[in-house]
Every structure is written in C-alpha cells, then in structure tokens.
Structure 1
Amino acid sequence: MGSEPMDIDSQLSAEEIKTQANQEYKAGHYADAIRLYTQAIAASPNTSTYYANRAAALTMLKKYKEAAEDCRVATTIDPSNIKANLRAAKCHMNLGNLEEASRQYQLVLSQDAENRQAQRELYNLHQLSNYIKQADVFMENKQWGLASNALDRAIALADPDAVPFNWRVKKAECSLGQKNYSEANRLANELVRLDSQNPDALFLRARVLYKQGDNAKAIAHCQESLRCDPDYAKARVLLKKARALESQKEAGNAAFKSSRLQEAYELYTSALEIDSENEGTNAKLYSNRAAVLQKLGKYDEALADCNKALELDSTFTKVYSRRAACYMELEQFEEAVRDYKQLNETEPGNREYRSLLQKAELELKKSLRKDYYKILGVSKDASDSEIKKAYRKLALQNHPDKNPDDEKAEARFKEIGEAYAILSDPQKRQRFDSGVDIDGGMGMGGGGFDGAGVDINDVFAQMFGGGGMGGFPGGSFPGGSGGYPGGAGYQQQRRPNANGYSNGSYSFHFG
C-alpha cells in the first residue's frame, strides 16, 4: 500500500497484528490501522478478512478505488465474505460504477436474501441510478437546470465529498449550459487538477474557454486533449471552429486598424456566421462591428449591434461605453446617461467615465429646454447669415397678419422671434450652447429663455424695418401673389385680437 510499517513486535502473529489494527480502527486512527493490516497481510497473504478490514479503513479515508481492489482480493480468496461484497458495493457506488455496485449487492442477496443492509443500500442505489438516468435525459434535451437538480439528488445519496469524476463532468456541463461560466470554469479547473492527462477534462476546459470567447486558450486545450487521445472527435471539431473564429476576428481587427472599414464589417459579419452558440466571441464580434458602424456614422445600426452584444454578455463594459456614445450622437441623452451611470457604478474611480457622464447629463438638461436651432430649422454650427435667412422666412410665414385668428401661428411667431433673439447675439448664443442658465429661463422643463428679455415685435421691426418692406428687394413679399407697392405705404399698428386686447402683432396697410 506504499505505507511505512509500524514498529511492532516481530514475534506477534498475523492475527495478533490484526487485533491491534482493529483497535486503531475503533479509535479512528485509520492510517495506523491500514499500516497494521498491511503488516498482517504480509504475514498471512491469503487471509480474506485482513483485506476486507483494510478496505474498511481505506473507505473511511475515502480511498474508494484502493478499498474496492482489497474487496476484490478478499472475495477472490473467500467468495462467501459478505462484508467484503457490501464494502465493494459501497465503494463502486461512490466511484460511480453503478452496475458493478448492483452486482455486488446481488451477490450478497444471493447468499443471504434477508440481508437488511444489502436491501436498504440496493434501494438507495436504484434511486441514485434513476437520478443519473434522469440527468442524462435532461442534458440531452438541454434542460440544464433540471439535469443539475437530478445530479445533486444523486450526489446526496453517495458521498458529496468524493463525487465521481464523470459526475463532476456532468455538473460542469450543466453549469456551462446554464451560462454560469464562473462555476463551469471552477469545476473544469478542478477536473484538470485531478487529472491533467484526462481528455474529457481538457476538452471540457476548452469548451468553457471557447464559450467565454478565449479562443487562443481553447485551441491550446483542444490540442492537449487530442495529444492525450488522438481519436477524440469532439475536440477536433471544436479546434476547427475556434481556429476559424479567431482567424476571422483577427482579420477584421487588422482591417479596422487600417481603416478598411467596409472590409472589416464584412469580416466581422462572416465571423458571426461561424457559430451562433459561441456567445463570448460573438459578443466581441458585435461590439467590434458596432465600432465599424460608429466610424461610418451609422449610429442606429451600431446601436443595434451594441444591444446584441449585451444580450450575449451583460458584463461587457466596453459595449456600454460604445452604446452610450451612439446614444449621444442620436441625441438620446437619457439613455446615454443611463449607460454612463452603469459604467461609473462598475468603475467608480474612472475619471473618463465620470467626465462623460457629466457631459451627457448636461446635454440631457439642455435637451429638455427649447431647442432654438430646431425652432429655426438650422444646424448648431449655422452661420449668422443662415440664422438670419431662416428667421426671415419663418417669421413671415407665421406672422399673425398672415394667419389671422390662428393662435398656434402666433405662438410660433413669438417662439421664432425668441430663438432669433438668442442665436443672433454671439454672447447669448455662446451661453445657450454651453448650457448656462440665462435670466433664469434655461431651466429644466422646456421653458426656454422666457423671451430672454426681448420684445419679439422689436426683433421683427429691426429685421424688416420700421417703415416698410425694406428687408426684401423691390418691396415684394416672398411667397405672395404679385408684389406690394413700394414700401412707403407700410404702416405698423397694434390690432385687437379675438379677445379684445392687443396681441402685439402687425397689420399691413397700403395707400
């Protein structure tokens, strides 16, 4: 057994040594008992009881494989050694050899049909065997949660501290199927540590790495598995997929770095078609393709790819940053703020994320007030002349005199004047762009500048002239039927609105 013999009286008989061993066993000194039983076996190698007793001590130390071998020797010497059969059955059950365990119990019952221990333990074995069969069926149907539960029930009927190797493999496969990669990874690592030359353990580790998107390490583990078993077909199939995915992804990365964006897009797209079940790599591919689309200014499509990446891996931090940037470009500031908050919670000390969150929050605040650029229909980098031209057109289209009794047109006219008053003034425009609260009117809720202290009628008068249509060549009114005579007959006056009070609009009177 590989143990050093104890110092015992060489004059003792094998039976006397066995008696000392029994005393050590009863005292719970199992290692000492094993050494003494070994001495007794050396003194009398054909005594069945010594092997059976040593098997009992080995069982207490959970050395089931060695104990099962001692039981085999004991029953070979004495086929009627029922104790050896019972211990062998227990050992084989804990080793996962259920058919052999059942055979041993049947041998006991064939000699003693009323043996209560054999009856009880055989019943438990049948239950355990049923749970293992259920787990296999559930795994075939990819019902991973049910399979894991059935395995747990089986393990509870055996030795939870010494789970058979193949049952551990099944548990790891269930965790992998449930996408609990951390647990699958832990179990796979344990299996490799137990037996670094086991092709099943190496292949399982490769599968976990592959699912997590670490193709390089998955390839290495597949190669090692095939070195241990060159005929391992599953490892060869996975190796081929992992190599193809890694090659295509790296080619896409190289194209992206060289600004060959369309080529990168096509490479990432074709890589996504290789294996729809490789969630780890596919999450990276969607993220990378989103980066390409972002560079191409296709923000809606980039956003869709970011969402797909996060569906596959909700912990993929980089994607939240990329998606938030797309939201900012699409002026979906509330969503951008949400993602930047997520990033700041994940990495509270990251200054860049904190700065981006502050910018998004400012843009969100600005988006909730009146957008004077949108009111005038110009871009945020519009020139002074473009702003003036837009105002001329909209002010005349919405002037109350052109839209009598239209309160909406009157409201639009005032809003247009308010927008022009701010954007035509360089200092006010700069403050508006920066989000500064001017005159208390740029707060949340879309209140705007509350006119920014400007009389809209004055704005209109300044733009078009106080005494005529001088603002337009030839005195003609754009969009009108024909022209207005001269400009001399143009007069400004207040007129009552429908409610009988002055609404600050203009009337045109021509002589």
Structure 2
Amino acid sequence: MVQLAHIFKKDKDKEKPNLDSSRPRTSFSASRSPSTKSPKSPTKSPAKSPSKSSKPSYFSHSRSTSSGPTNFKFSRSSRDQDTHPLNLPPDELRRRLSAMAASRDDQRSSMDIDPQEQQNGVNGKEERSPTPPPHRPTAASADEADSFKLAGNKFFKDGNYRRAIEEYNKAIEINPNSSAYLSNRAAAYMSAKQYLNALEDVQRSNELDPNNPKILHRWAKILTSLGRPQEALDVLSRVQPPASATDRAPAEKMLRAVTQAEETLAENRGVSMVIFCLDQARQGLGSSVKEPRKWTLLAAEAQLKLNNPNSIGKAQDIAISLLRENSQDPDAMMIRARAFYALGESDQALKLLKMCLGLDPDMKPAIKLLRIVQKLARTKEEGNNAFKAKDYRRAIDLWAQALEVDPSNKDMNAKILGNRAQAYINLKEYDSAIQDCTEALRLDPGYVKAMKVRAKAHGGADNWEEAIRDYKSVAENNPGEAGIAEEIRRAEFELKKSQRKDYYKILGVGKDASDQEIKKAYRKMAIQYHPDKNRDGEAGDEKFKEVGEAYETLIDSQKRAAYDNGDDLMDPSDMFGGGGGFGGGGFGGMGGMGGMGGASHVNIDPNILFNMMNGGGGGGFAQAGGNPFGGQSRGGGGFPGGGFPF
C-alpha cells in the first residue's frame, strides 16, 4: 500500500496545479534529452487504449538525467478513470493488494530471506567467470599437441628426459585427457628418477584408458622401483594376455627377499640373513629412492638382535635418522631405547620408554620392556649397595636374581657377572670368580674389566702364569689402559716368588697364619721328619732341613716380611743398572754384592724396590758384610761401611 501511495504521490506532484478538475485525467511521460541542443517543443503523445496496454498509464512515466534541459511530454489518457487504484472500490482494491502480496511472498524463502544477488550466474557480491564448457581441442590444436608429443619422443630417445618432459607438458596442456601423453610423460619421469611424479601420471593414464597392457606394465615397473612389489604384482595380474615370467621377475624377487627377511626375523634364526635379504631387496629400488619404512624397521630389529657393539650402533643410527624426519615417532624411540638398554644404559632407556608411552600408551613392547628395565635396575642397585656395605654374600645373591631378569641382555649381564666375581674374590672364592669372569667375557669379549678381574682371581689362586696371560691380553688390545704395565711386572714378580721354596706349603699353613699356628705346625713336622725317627734316609734329612729353614724364616717377623716381599729374589745388578757395587769411598764398600744366593734376574718395579729398602727391611746384604735383615731393627739402617741410609 505504501508503494502504491508513493507512486500516486509522484504522479500527483507532476500534474499542473491549475488543471481543471472537470477535465479528464491525463498521463504523461517526462524525459530529458541526452542532447545538449535547444529543447524541442513538447508534443502530445497519442492516447493509449487500456486494452492495449499491459500496465496502467501511470507506469509509462520515465525520466532520464543529462546535462541538457529537461523536456516533458504529456499525453491525455482516454482510459476510464476508474482504472486508477485510488478510484477503485475498497473491496477491489483490497483484492488487488492481497494478490500483489501473495505474489511477493511466493518469491521469498521459508526463512523470509531475500534471494541473493545473481551476478554472472554466481551467487554473491563477487563477480566470477562462469564455468567454461569441457575442453575439446580443435583439429588444429590436436595437430599441435601431436607435434609436441613427437618432439618429446625424440628427446626421450636421445636421453634428454628433462626436455622430453617439457614437450609432453605442452601436449598435455592442450589435451589434458590424453592417456598416451600422460603415459609418455610417466616414462620420462621414471627415466629421470622422478618416480612419484611418474606414478601420478601413470595412474591418471590408466583411469583414462583402463587395462591398457602397455600402461599396466609401466605402472608395475614404477611400483617395483618404489619398493612396492606386492602392488606391482597385483597390477600385472590385470594384464591380458598374462604378463610373462620375465616381466614379473623383478617384483617377485623383491617380494621374496622381503618375505624371507620377515620370516627369519620372526623365527629368530640367522639374524645376519635378514640383513642379506634386505640388501637383495634394495637392489630393485630405483636410484635415489628411499627404502620403505617397513624395511628400515626390519633392518633396525635385525641389528638389535645381533647384539654386538657395532650392530647396536647401527640400530642407533637408524633410530636417529627416523627421528630427524619425525621427532615424535614412537617406533624410532623404541629402537633407541632398546639400543641404550642393550648397552647397559638403563637410565637413558627408561627415559625414552616413558616418552614412547606418552605418545602411544598402548604400545605393548614398550610396556613390557619398561617393566624389565625397572626390575633389573632395581635389583642391580640393591646388589651394589650390599657390596658397598661389604655384605658380599648378599650382593652375590642379589646379582644372581638380576641375572635371571633378562638373559638376553648380554652387555648388562656381563657387567653383573664382573661385579659378582669381585665379590667372590673378596670372599677368597677364586674359582667362582674366575668362572664368572669367563662367562662375562663370553657375553662381551671386549669387556676389559672382566679380563682384569679374572687376572686378579688367577693371582689369588696362585695361577700367576694365567694372570700374566690375561694382563698381557689387556695390554695388547688396550695399549692405553692405565696401570697395566705395572700389573704385568707385579704378576711376573709373583711368579718368581711362587717358583722358589714355599715355606708356607712346607709347614702346611696359610700365608696369613699366626705365629702360634706356625709353631704348632713346625713341632708336628719336626717330629715327623726328625732324623731319629726318619726311615727315608737322605730324603728325610733334606725334608727335615726344609722344615727348619721354613720355621726360622716365618717365625721371625722381619725375615717373614722380607720373604713375603720377595727380597731374596732381588738382583742387585737390576737395582743399580748392572753395576758391581759402589767400590769403596763415601758409600762404604758395597763391593761385589755378590750372588744373592744364585737368584735369577728379574725386572724390579722401582716402587717395590723403594718399599723394600725403606720400609720393608733394608740394610746390608750378606755378601757385603752385613745382616741381610738387619736394617729394619735400626729404623732403616745403612749399608756397612758408613753408607747413606734409604
């Protein structure tokens, strides 16, 4: 109604104010001429019959604006004045208004929202180009595309794959739906070692020309080059007539190698064969193609199962390369955790296992290994604490429990065995210590500590030749090992001591026997071998003399100390650079220092010599005119003849 009133008001404003109301109503149209010339005189427009007009005469009014003067045209309407809405009866007016409203409502949505503007056939405010019709090359453009293809073929035959790809690109730009062009470009991509691009093209080519044998063969070759042999064989199975054995051979060889690697690893047999099979599979990969992730994980698993320092290091390298690609890779973290655990670094392993479970709480291998590492670390630490408290028997028992947690962890178990061997040595159970060290070296042949502990155990059991052999093995394999040269000299000296008369053995007492035990043993042996009761002749007499000599040496604390230190084995020529004594003068006649009872030459460590001379019974030598054990009682004494004290 408002719209009608507005229109009527405009018409009324444009009527002449002094028109006679008795005259018929007129309709007019006012228009401005676009010309800048002088205005034309107004002319009357011919009257229109209501029957010939689709709209009432008041809709014929039009107005245009220009820089020129305004011209008005008036035409009288010959229609019945009752056709004007304001002259209609109220019922008819309401009927027409209702009809107009209903017509307008039909154009609205159910949500009463005005339809969006349509511009260029697209809804919205932005102008967009209409969707073009499907591309259909003309005869001329098809010929041009073929010329690009032929040029690409020539470059391909010449081995210039980059230029071939460029020419095929031009052909495909003209006709993107040509399976031949796409297949040719796939071949060029494959020859240029761009296998992923080749795969995309050949798949699109197959969509356009399904089951084309040439395309399928090319597709299978690309898949094999990417390390996807099963998919390649699936594609070849669609070829008709069936693909030849020669065509299938590369994919079958690759698949067979990978399958054998998986089966061998699962059965835990011939782990080195896994690595060999994977190497065979890699030979079928395209140049510069990265091996499938599945193969990488198989290789890491095989290296871990080889379980030697070199293979564990390779497994670490694989894990690190995977983590560079994805720092949140739980599989790579698991590999690294297992490597640390195999190297005995439980703390690092625990840290990585917890990170794994943070990324994948349901990762069963990580859960299982975490429990093992925690139990092993706890039991081992309890054994260490017992050892520090000198509760060696409890330490041995706890370490025995730790060895049962994971028998497959060679490195960790070797360390535990080495620790337990040291506890056995402290309990003087040398044979058990030797056995543990030997087992530790079987698990870890390069375990230096186990070799040194075994040498020590051999020495404790008076197996000095074996001790020297172990020490020299350490020196040969680890030239920089601290203190090993001194250990060898000491063991050689102990060997010399063991080859002389063993006074302790003659009396049948231990090296830590007390004076009372020595006296008791002497009485027993003296009665047994006394000449009055001896029936063995000269042999019995010799035995009786040995018993007396042993008793005389061991019952005297100074002589016993000198004997224990091996002073009687010292060669003066070694002590003083092979000289024959101090020849008189200020050092008082150590001339000759002869013989020392016929002792053979030995290499004497300077520290041992110093201890012997300064605190272990220095003083004169029998051949130089002094008591060989006299120095100690005088607080270090000197050589006879006024020599300087040591």
User: TM-score with structure 2 length normalisation?
Assistant: 0.58
Report the CA distance shift for 1:313/1:427 in structure 2 as closer, same or farther (over 3 A): same
Correspondence 1:168-187 to 2 at 5 A: 168-187=296-315
In the alignment, does 2:176 pair up with 1:45?
Answer: yes
Contact 2:225/2:284 (8 A) holds in 1 = no
- Cα distance change on mapping 1:199 and 1:105 into 2, 3 Å: farther
What TM-score, normalized to structure 1? 0.71
Select which of 245, 269, 285 maps to 2:416: 285
SS in 1 for 2:221: helix
Per-residue Cα deviation, 1:387-443 (whole angstroms, up to 9, x for no partner): 565444423311343122455434422433443465567469616632425322467
**SS of match in other structure, 1:190:** helix
**1:261 and 1:36 mapped to 2: Cα distance?**
83
Greater helix proportion:
1
Deviation (angstroms), 1:374: 1.4
Sort the Cα spacing of 1:95 and 1:242 in 2 relative to 1 into closer, same or farther, 3 A.
Answer: farther
SS in 2 for 1:360: helix
Is 1:344 the counterpart of 2:475? The answer is yes
SS at match of 1:403: coil
Q: In 2, distance between residues paired with 1:352 and 1:412?
A: 41
Query: Superposition pairs for residues 414-429 of structure 1, below 5 Å?
Result: 414-420=545-551, 422-423=553-554, 426=558
Q: Which runs of 5+ in 1 are unaligned?
A: 1-11, 445-452, 454-511
2:442 aligned partner, one-letter code: E
For 1:251 and 1:68, how far apart are their aligned partners in 2?
Answer: 60
Aligned equivalents of 1:244, 1:272: Cα separation in 2? 11
Q: 1:260 to 1:427 in 2, by over 3 A?
A: closer
Letter in structure 2 aligned against 1:67: A
Name the structure 2 match of 1:76: 207
Structure-2 change in CA distance of 1:400 and 1:192 (3 Å): same
CA distances 1:138-183 after superposition (whole Å, capped 9, x unpaired)? 3333212444444444444555965433223323333333334423
> Corresponding residue for 1:496?
none
1:314-334 Cα distance to aligned partner (Å, 9 max, x none) = 212222222222222222222
Q: Distance in 1 between matches of 2:312 and 2:347?
A: 18
Matches within 5 A, 1:315-394: 315-380=446-511, 387=518, 390-394=521-525
Note the C-alpha offset of 1:293: 3.6
- CA-CA distance at 1:361 after TM superposition: 1.8
Which structure: larger Rg?
Answer: 2
Tell me if 1:133 matches 2:259.
yes
**Is the alpha carbon distance of 1:51 and 1:193 closer, same or farther for their aligned partners in structure 2, counting shifts above 3 Å?**
farther
Match of 2:543 in 1: 412
Cα displacement string for residues 74-114 of structure 1 (whole angstroms, at most 9, x for unaligned residues): 21222255444223212322444222110122233x1x44x
1:306 — aligned with what?
437
Q: Residues 432, 269 of structure 1: CA spacing in aligned structure 2 closer, same or farther, 3 A cutoff?
A: closer
Relative to structure 1, is the Cα distance of residues 397 and 157 closer, same or farther in structure 2, using a 3 angstrom cutoff?
A: same
Distance 1:185 1:373 in 2: 52
CA contact (8 A) 1:400 1:410 kept: yes
Q: In the alignment, which of 173, 182, 189 is matched to residue 317 of structure 2? A: 189
Post-superposition CA distance 1:18-54 (Å, at most 9, x none): 6666666566565676677566655543333444344
- Per-residue CA distance 1:364-397 (angstroms, 9 max, x = gap): 2222232122112344455677656544442331
AA aligned opposite 1:430 = A
1:283–1:312 contact (8 Å) kept in structure 2: yes
- Aligned partners of 1:173 and 1:184 also within 8 Å: no
- The answer on whether the counterparts of 1:175 and 1:181 sit within 8 Å (CA) in structure 2 is no
Q: Distance in 2 between matches of 1:192 and 1:50?
A: 42
**1:440 correspondence with 2:598:** yes
Q: Is the 8 A contact 2:233 2:248 kept in 1?
A: yes
Cross-structure match for 1:430: 562
Q: AA paired with 2:503?
A: Y
Counterpart in the other structure of 2:3:
none
* Identical amino acids, percent of aligned pairs: 37
RMSD: 3.8
Per mean C-alpha deviation after superposition, the further-off stretch among 302-311 and 256-265 is 256-265
CA distance in 1, matches of 2:600, 2:407: 50
Which segments of 5 or more consecutive residues in structure 2 lack a partner in the other structure? 1-142, 572-595, 603-621, 623-646
User: Compared with structure 1, are the counterparts of its residues 126 and 298 closer, same or farther at alpha carbon in structure 2 (3 Å cutoff)?
Assistant: same
Change (3 A) 1:191 1:379: closer
Match of residue 8 from structure 1: none
CA distance in 2, matches of 1:73, 1:97: 18
Give 2:294's aligned residue: 166
Partner of 2:405: helix, strand, or coil? Answer: coil
- Structure 2 distance, partners of 1:313, 1:362, is 30
Q: Is the 1:56–1:67 Cα contact (8 Å) retained in structure 2?
A: yes
Alignment CA distance shift 1:235-1:334 (3 Å): same
Q: 1:436 to 1:291 in 2, by over 3 A?
A: same
Pick closer, same or farther for the CA change 1:278–1:55 going to 2, 3 Å.
Answer: farther
1:483 maps to none
- Rounded to whole Å, the distance in 2 between the matches of 1:158 and 1:368 is 68
| Secondary structure at 2:231 match in 1 | helix
1:204 aligns with 2:338: no
Moved more, 255-264 or 284-293: 255-264
SS where residue 300 of structure 1 aligns?
A: helix
Q: Which residue of 2 aligns with 1:272?
A: 403
- In the alignment, is the contact (CA less than 8 A) between 1:165 and 1:191 conserved in 2? no
- Structure 2 vs 1, CA of residues 279 and 401 (structure 1 numbering), >3 Å: closer, same or farther? same
With over 3 angstroms needed to count, the CA separation of the structure-2 counterparts of 1:356 and 1:35, relative to structure 1, is farther
Q: Specify the alignment match of 2:230 in structure 1.
A: 99
User: Larger relative CO (CA 8 A, sep 6+): 1 or 2?
Assistant: 1
Change in Cα spacing, 1:442 to 1:150, as seen in structure 2 (3 Å) is: same
